[in-house]
Amino acid sequence: MHPDGDELLYLVEGAVDLVLDEDIGERCISLQPGQAFVVPCGVWHRVMVKEPCCLLYFTPGRSQVRWRRPLSPN
C-alpha cells in the first residue's frame, strides 16, 4: 500500500495477476505483456506471478507492508 500516491505497473513480459483489496472484497486483474495498471493511492494490493516476468513499477513516496489480511469482525 502506498499512502503518498498512485502506483503505475507496466508488464514488459510474462504474466501476472494483480490482486486489489477493496472495500467490497478482492478484485483480480490479469496483466499481459504491454499492459499497464494504476493502483490507486491507499489501496492494499499484491502481485501474483503466473509465469516468469519483467514488471516495471513506479511508486511515489513511502510503502507500507502487511503480512496478513486483518480478520473481519463477525
Whose CA is closest to 17, among 53, 66, 42?
53
pLDDT tens for the chain, 74 residues long, are 888 899 999 999 999 999 999 888 899 999 999 999 999 998 999 999 999 999 999 988 777 776 566 666 65
Q: Are 17 and 30 spatial neighbours (Cβ–Cβ below 8 Å)? A: yes
Whose CA is closest to 20, among 35, 30, 33?
30
